[in-house]
A and B are shown apart, each in its own frame.
Chain A
């Protein structure tokens, strides 16, 4: 009797397990699946492996969806393990390309060169605006500039009605309350890019090293972009730098930025960041498109939004295995297609402006 019950229970569990393993599927094709991209030469290795920057993870997800639709049976497995790990995996030969928040350094290049047996390329494929979000009762149209932001984030400017802020916001009702700075507590490319911006745009008045961790010396950290967003939303009189998509989804107001050219405060928008990207200087040689980001941070173009995150794909010019080369090329071609670029805005990134896209296409097509 008892044995029967036991047998029945085991049978039930086994049946449940069978049923469970049979009914799952990766097929999400119903509904608004990604459209196919045109102008891509598919083929080569079926499953590419890549790892690196978390800042571009959502962009890559969109690219991969389009890639899977476009090139039947091909995919990319991207692990968002952080830029440092991504570059290490790539130079160690464990992955086919790396995603990184910064171009290869002089110290990293020889190892990458050796791994590729050809010139490694830094391709800035993903740009994302960084928003300066704030939570001040009754204020929705704050304007700030580089030097003032630097002082806020290093603790020199401590209250919302500081003359430096008031001067940029005449007639607005700024409270006498202390400014609460929210920063990212985990390592992130966003933090690094933002601190680079602060240093560049304030002529080093920020005065702190631009690392993946926040060095401003003020404020309270929160885990991840979502943590910072939640913290800003729940803390009155706080300010934070976050990827634009997080600020928008949380409906936090974002500051307009007066760029290095002076002039009118520039609100955060895709088009306005595009203007800054269009004017970016490239320091890379030949097909390498390493950027001089200072040219974005210190852009003087009227109406250009200067605070951006630029993340690279690091690839080989020529892969030892031509199959891999073909697949990497196909994936990056897909990424540059209008269909894949169309997925970017949803994730809070900026579609690459046409002029710069031409240069990327040239570099991508040279991969073999």
Chain B
């Protein structure tokens, strides 16, 4: 997709810039830019404003408590520990799967596919991005989950000594775990990683590739010597964008991950809620300000989390990529 993220030096200007029309138009466009800045700032401000009263009324430690109990407005007990664990585990697992596969696809589309076929193939990957997330959720829990259950069983049986694969807090249930969600998220963020990485790989300077070819390099060696070094930062930035998307995914996760009554042990076979799925699941009950504020506080943490991830992506990309 994109090629520019840093504001470029403004395009050529005419000698004279005066005129009321000119000034009005300049103001109009700057105003539009300000709207964007204001939107982000206001999101932060209003989430904070709504969250603070609930955080003050909270009887549990917001960062270390694993419970999220808002049933009694006079005795709020909520914390984000488990939300954070489930959100990070599912997103990182998705990233661990989607990064190598996405890299492979980007290489396939840019280095291995004749340009005649690249377009239709890229379109196919684009279709993955067009599928609405509620459809992924439905398909994930009803169709995919039962199919991957034996694989999860296998991991738990043979690698159960490792904390990630130890029996989870909804054991013996193995469908609808963080593991299931991680795979679905991986499929969902694949198009994001692929699209952006592919774009950066396309920008690899022609002469670098030709220089490698002139040295008699095989196709793989060309990739290793020219394409990968050039595109590394773009690939990492693309992955961060994918991570940002995975962290905030709502409805697919809500449909897929089963809830648990006991806290998470950090296993991939745990159940629970992510920030986003918890908020969505409680959305129909947003009637009293204090309990609602608790969910808004969770939303605030999610906002900060995605803010940080996207900011890192931008810094890493150094202007090669945009979302």
Binding site for B on A (CB under 8 A): 54, 80-82, 84-85, 88-89, 178, 180, 183, 185-187, 211-223, 227, 230-231, 234-235, 238
In the bound complex, residues from chain B placing their C-beta under 8 Å from that of A238 are: 173
Complex-state Cα separation, A364 to B287, whole angstroms: 28
- A220-B259 contact in complex given A178-B172, A235-B175, C-beta closer than 8 Å: yes
- Which of B32-40, B231-239, B278-286 lies at the interface with chain A? B278-286
What are 20 contact pairs spanning A and B, CB under 8 A? Answer: A54-B284, A82-B287, A85-B284, A85-B287, A89-B287, A178-B172, A183-B261, A186-B284, A187-B282, A187-B285, A217-B262, A220-B258, A220-B271, A221-B170, A221-B258, A221-B259, A221-B271, A223-B254, A234-B175, A235-B175
Interface SS of A by simple majority? loop
Interface residues in B, total, Cβ within 8 A: 25
Q: Is the CB of A222 within 8 A of B287?
A: no
Q: Is the CB of B281 within 8 A of A186?
A: yes
B191 in the interface (beta carbon within 8 A): no
Most B Cβ at <10 Å: residue of A178, A186, A215:
A186
Most A Cβ at <10 Å: residue of B146, B260, B288:
B260
In the bound complex, residues from chain A placing their C-beta under 8 Å from that of B261 are: 183, 214-219, 221
In the bound complex, residues from chain A placing their C-beta under 8 Å from that of B260 are: 220-221
Q: How far is the CB of B160 from chain A (nearest CB, A)?
A: 16
- A88-B288 contact in complex given A180-B173, A187-B282, A220-B170, C-beta closer than 8 Å: yes
Within 8 A of A (CB), among B133-190: 141-142, 145-146, 170, 172-173, 175-176
- A219-B170 contact in complex given A81-B284, A185-B258, C-beta closer than 8 Å: yes
Closest 8 CB pairs of A and B: A221-B259, A185-B259, A220-B170, A85-B287, A220-B258, A220-B173, A88-B287, A82-B285
Beyond A85-B285, A222-B176, A223-B255, 13 additional contacts (C-beta under 8 Å) are A80-B284, A84-B287, A185-B258, A186-B282, A217-B262, A220-B170, A221-B170, A222-B258, A223-B254, A227-B141, A230-B142, A231-B173, A234-B146
Complex-state Cα separation, A212 to B141, whole angstroms: 24
Complex-state Cα separation, A118 to B286, whole angstroms: 28
B71 in the interface (beta carbon within 8 A): yes
In the bound complex, residues from chain B placing their C-beta under 8 Å from that of A216 are: 261
Binding site for A on B (CB under 8 A): 71, 141-142, 145-146, 170, 172-173, 175-176, 254-255, 258-262, 271, 281-282, 284-288
In the bound complex, residues from chain A placing their C-beta under 8 Å from that of B288 are: 84, 88
Complex-state Cα separation, A289 to B261, whole angstroms: 35
Complex-state Cα separation, A168 to B141, whole angstroms: 35
Complex-state Cα separation, A223 to B262, whole angstroms: 17
Q: Is the CB of A213 within 8 A of B71?
A: yes
- A180-B172 contact in complex given A85-B284, A220-B271, A234-B146, C-beta closer than 8 Å: yes
Looking across the interface, which residue of chain B has its beta carbon closest to that of A219? B261
Complex-state Cα separation, A16 to B310, whole angstroms: 39
Complex-state Cα separation, A59 to B92, whole angstroms: 44
Complex-state Cα separation, A158 to B254, whole angstroms: 28
Q: Is the CB of B255 within 8 A of A227?
A: yes
Q: How far is the CB of A13 from chain B (nearest CB, A)?
A: 19
Q: How far is the CB of B311 from chain A (nearest CB, A)?
A: 33
Looking across the interface, which residue of chain A has its beta carbon closest to that of B149? A234
In the bound complex, residues from chain B placing their C-beta under 8 Å from that of A222 are: 176, 258-259
Complex-state Cα separation, A264 to B254, whole angstroms: 41
